[in-house]
A and B are shown apart, each in its own frame.
Chain A
Amino acid sequence: MNVTRILTGKKEEKLFLLGNEAAVRGALEGGVSFVSTYPGTPSSEIGDVFSKLAKKAGIYFEYSTNEKVAVEVSAAAAAAGLRSFVFMKHVGLNVAADSFMSTAYLGTKGGMVILTADDPSMYSSQNEQDNRIYARIAGVPLLEPADPQEVKDLMKFGFKLSEQIHLPVLMRTTTRVSHMRGVVHLNDIVSPKGKGFFEKAPSKYVPVPANAVRMRKELSDKLAEAEKIADSSEVNKVYDFGNEFGIITSGGAFNYVIDVVKENNIPAKILKLTFTYPFPQHLVKEFLSTVKDVLIVEEVEPVMEKEVLAIIGKYQIPVNVYGKLTDTLPRIYEYSPDIIKEGIRKISAHTVNKRRYLKADITLPVRPPILCAGCPHRATYFAVKDAVKKLKLKDVIFPTDIGCYTLGIQPPYEMADYLLSMGSSIGAGTGFSHATDQKIVSFIGDSTFFHAGLPALVNAVHNKANLLIVVMDNRTTAMTGRQPSPSEPVNGMGETAPEISIENSAKGIGVEFVKTVDPYNLAKAREVFEEALGYDGVSVVISKHPCALITDAERKKKNIWMTFTINQSKCTKCMVCVKEWTCPAFYIEEDGTVHIDPLICDGCGVCVQVCPEKAIEVRK
């Protein structure tokens, strides 16, 4: 399917959409005018699609420098009366949290939907925090879609709800919902509004204490109204297959529940909650009065389970509650059909057969993600490692950051020692520099540098830290699928845009040692790193070379493809290329000879500099 179909598809047509693609169509059907994000898996494809369609759809779309800024631009657009949509991965909401909290106090005029894509089991994240809890801290309504169709429909529902109660609405997906494809029935697209108009009302929009005190009360009134809506909303549904026991579930977990219940003919009654905060107390109370036992199935924290227990306590309802707190279901990680089956087996008298499955008797090789063939990060790590070795430095600490380059953790480089979050390499590096006498080399990507590295760099300079910061500028936000970063001359709408120079930024902040190197030139890069390591104070080296996926695409377009090969008569099998350089194109034959796989080699040619025997040559 061509992604433009997400825009051009007509009412009553069906498309086979990813949850993330369905979010775009839903926003368009909901009359969205303004969209912002910072890319993060599992939400990234939403931005990829907007980036392609925004211009044609007549809406504004931007990749903001970070999630906090993304929330701010969209909140302002909503205050000006436009429908706005901002989305991010779960930990992005931590970055945005300060402004996100205030959006609840200020409220909105135009509908505003904030989507958080959570990542149970951490397929591509540092934690599996459950952002449904954020809805409760901030005091904003929460929607939990289960599949792409619901993602689409709830976007529209979310905008309406937001305008009805003048609050932003949080939509929470999980990886399995964002990265699930399903049949989606389309509706008409509502044209965007163009420009809005901001009517000044400082008492509404400036939460100085005197206003904030009043806003607090207004927020609680709005939430009371929202609870009434949740209680009678048609998005919360009962699926009645019998009354042996009840199940309350939400989001992607519902999919496992309904499949297991239907396939095994389990006589259970399911309450699928979709509008889950404010928690629909009366609806749930009524449901509980019809069952004796209830199983709560949710990912990942026992959020609804505690809500249910509170209702039972408050109204003294004689129901047994099973879930995470009773160890009927696991406390951590994502669920699966097998887990749900096991949980149901524990409480149901109905026989649920265990399925037999096969097991292998051999051990399989691990296949972790690795830096691509031709990746400039490999060259940077190689050069820095070489410089450290040359200078005979011991116990160097390598704070790292979030991007493809975090893979520097793998052998043989092992140059990732400490990581908290986006941008943390510089702050942590500063801390280590004051707390120890060790040498510090912090690694950070270009996009991450702008995201949260800048304030930390100011801090490092002002507080007189002593560290080398290597900005690995590969001209893109590579890991999430190559979205533009502020250091590139193009923005999210595909327009030319001012490039923000990392070099000038560092100089402007007051870094005196700022140099740019091309890591593909290993010797030159090593020299500069050596020099920087000898510098006392904050030094910044920008290691600049485009992501291999960019250069590959360019070379393919221009039809200039070359690969390298090993001249077997010169190769002494020293294994430097295999064991120290570790480009994935190298492999060892059973007879011990070393080769380059022409299908993997991207022709970067850097290995030529690594081979001590000069055995690597262009393949003719």
Chain B
Amino acid sequence: MKTYKIHLAGVGGQGTIKASSIVGEAAMKKGINVVMSELHGMAQRGGVVITEIKIGDAHSPVIENGDADLIIGFEPAEVLRSIKKASGKTFVIMNSARIVPFTVSLGMSTYLDNPSLIKEAIKKFSHLYIIDAEKLARKAGNIMSLNMVLLGSAVAVPGFPLGREEIIQSMKESLPEKTIEINLKAFDLGFERIKNM
């Protein structure tokens, strides 16, 4: 099997790392080698969080520029910040809900409006799925399930190396029991959304 490389980009508090570990554990259970890297700032919330996963024969968890098979973007500006990991072949999922960093209110930086961000993404990425994961997470019952919406959508992307059931099993093993129902619903909503695109 060719090594499958996933780059996840989000903002602290969005559950990026949890979503990544669920994928990693599912791969391990299936008997496939997997490595993952977590990069996050300090304890405070709100900074950039990046994780990368390689499923298959790889030692380094760091993806070469232009070599990601899939980018899961939890936030539109973060998807575009990660653009150098993508080539024309990369599949990209982009949550369209923005998290405007505080530097913008302070006048230290600017943040484009949604339509311009989406336009830029459409211009650049050949295989782009735009989804309002925040809305779907709310629909599932809790905004905190946003990461599972995005995980569900990832599983529906062509070429994703792990099956729906394998991921669901891994979710059941690593999420708190009382949240599992909402999280599974969120996962399904994300999955269906991409399948129907």
Chain A residues within 8 Å of B, Cβ to Cβ: 1, 14, 16, 18, 41, 123-124, 146-147, 175-176, 179-183, 252, 254-256, 258-259, 262, 336-338, 341, 355-373, 375, 404, 407, 411-412, 478-482, 549, 578-579, 582, 584, 586-588, 590, 599
23 A-B residue pairs with Cβ-Cβ distance under 8 Å, sorted by A, are A16-B28, A124-B42, A181-B24, A183-B28, A252-B60, A336-B62, A337-B60, A337-B67, A341-B64, A355-B66, A358-B87, A361-B120, A362-B116, A365-B103, A366-B109, A367-B48, A369-B41, A369-B47, A411-B108, A479-B42, A582-B106, A588-B105, A590-B113
Number of B interface residues at 8 Å Cβ cutoff, please give it.
64
Stretch from B76-84, B157-165, B179-187 at the A interface: B76-84
19 additional A-B pairs beyond A123-B39, A411-B108, A478-B43, beta carbons within 8 Å, are A16-B24, A16-B36, A124-B42, A146-B59, A175-B39, A180-B37, A181-B35, A181-B38, A359-B83, A362-B112, A363-B110, A366-B103, A367-B78, A369-B42, A369-B46, A370-B47, A481-B43, A482-B43, A584-B102
Instruction: Report which of B34, B60, B87, B100 forms a contact with A365, defined as CB distance below 8 A.
Output: B100
- In Å, the complex CA distance between A579 and B104 comes to 11
Q: Is the beta-carbon distance between A182 and B84 smaller than 8 angstroms?
A: no
CA distance in complex: A369, B45 (Å): 7
For the complex, what is the distance from the CA of A487 to the CA of B13, rounded to whole Å?
28
B residues near A124, Cβ cutoff 8 Å: 41-42
CB distance from B33 to the nearest CB of A (A): 6
Is B156 located at the chain interface by the 8 A CB criterion? Answer: no
A367 touches B103 (CB 8 A): yes
- Is B168 an interface residue when CB atoms closer than 8 A count as contact? no
Question: What chain A residues lie within 8 Å of B60 (beta carbons)?
Answer: 252, 255-256, 258-259, 337
Measured in the bound complex, the distance between the Cα atoms of B40 and A480 in whole Å is 12
- Say which residue of A176, A254, A367, A412 sits within 8 Å of B106 (CB atoms): A412
Q: Known: A368-B47, A369-B41. Is A586-B105 also a contact (CB below 8 A)? A: yes
Assess the B37–A176 pair: CB atoms within 8 A.
Answer: yes
* A362 B28 Cβ-Cβ under 8 A: no
| B window 96-141: CB within 8 A of A | 100-106, 108-113, 116-117, 120, 124-125
Task: Determine if B15 is an interface residue (Cβ-Cβ < 8 Å).
Answer: no
A-B CB proximity, top 9 nearest: A357-B66, A255-B60, A369-B47, A255-B59, A355-B66, A181-B36, A365-B109, A367-B101, A337-B64
Q: Which of A358, A407, A590 contacts B125 (CB 8 A)?
A: A358
CB A406 to nearest CB in B, in angstroms, measures 9
The reply to whether B100 and A358 form a contact with Cβ atoms under 8 Å apart is no
Binary interface encoding of chain B residues 43-78 relative to chain A, with 1 for a CB under 8 A from any of its CBs, else 0? 111111000000001111111111100000000011
CA distance A363 to B143 in the complex (A): 28
B25 proximal to A (CB < 8 A): yes
* Contact, CB under 8 Å: A358 / B21: no
Task: Evaluate contact between A123 and B41: CB separation under 8 angstroms.
Answer: yes
What residues on B are CB-neighbors of A176 within 8 Å? 37, 61-62
| Dominant secondary structure at the A interface | loop
Q: Which listed residue (B62, B81, B84, B105) contacts A357, Cβ 8 A?
A: B84
Are B28's CB and A358's CB within 8 A?
no
Interface assignment of B85: CB less than 8 Å from any CB of chain A: yes
| Structural contact, A179 and B77, CB atoms closer than 8 A | no
CB of B169 closer than 8 Å to a CB of A = no
Pairwise interchain contact A355-B64, C-beta atoms closer than 8 A: yes
Given A362-B120, A364-B81, are A259 and B44 neighbors across the interface (CB < 8 Å)? no
Residue of A nearest to B42 (CB): A479
Chain B nearest CB from A176 CB (Å) reads 6
The residue of chain B having its C-beta at the shortest distance from the C-beta of A178 within the complex is B38
- A358 and B64 contact, CB distance less than 8 A: no
Q: For residue A577, which residue of chain B has the nearest CB?
A: B105
Check B11 for interface membership: any CB of A closer than 8 A: yes
Q: How many angstroms between the C-alpha atoms of A255 and B57 in the bound complex?
A: 11
For window 3-27 of chain B, which residues contact chain A by CB distance below 8 Å?
A: 11-12, 21, 24-25
CB-CB < 8 A to B85: which residues of A? Answer: 357
Residue in chain A with minimal CB distance to B101 = A367
B80 engages A180 (CB within 8 Å): no
Name B48's closest neighbour in chain A (CB-CB): A367
User: Given the complex of chains A and B, what is the CA–CA distance between A357 and B64 in angstroms?
Assistant: 9
Q: Does A587 lie within 8 Å of B21, measured CB to CB?
A: no
The answer to whether B59 touches A147, judged by C-beta atoms less than 8 angstroms apart, is yes
Q: Are B21 and A1 closer than 8 Å at their CB atoms?
A: yes
- Inter-subunit contact B112/A357 (CB<8 Å): no
How far apart are the CA atoms of A147 and B60 in the complex, in Å? 9
B residues less than 8 Å from A481 (CB atoms): 43
Give the complex CA separation of A5 and B128 in angstroms.
38
Kindly list chain B residues whose C-beta atoms are within 8 Å of the C-beta of A254: 59
Bound-state CA distance A478–B43 (Å) is 7
Whether B93 is near chain A, meaning CB under 8 Å from some CB there, is: no
- Whether the pair A180, B35 counts as a contact (CB closer than 8 A) is yes
Determine the chain A residues whose CB is within 8 A of the CB of B116 once the complex forms: 362
In the assembled complex, the CB of B36 is this many whole angstroms from the nearest CB of chain A, namely 4
Docked-complex contact B124 and A587, CB < 8 angstroms: no
Could you tell me if A578 and B105 are in contact, using CB atoms closer than 8 angstroms? yes
A337-B63 in contact given A367-B47, A411-B106, A478-B43 (Cβ < 8 Å): yes
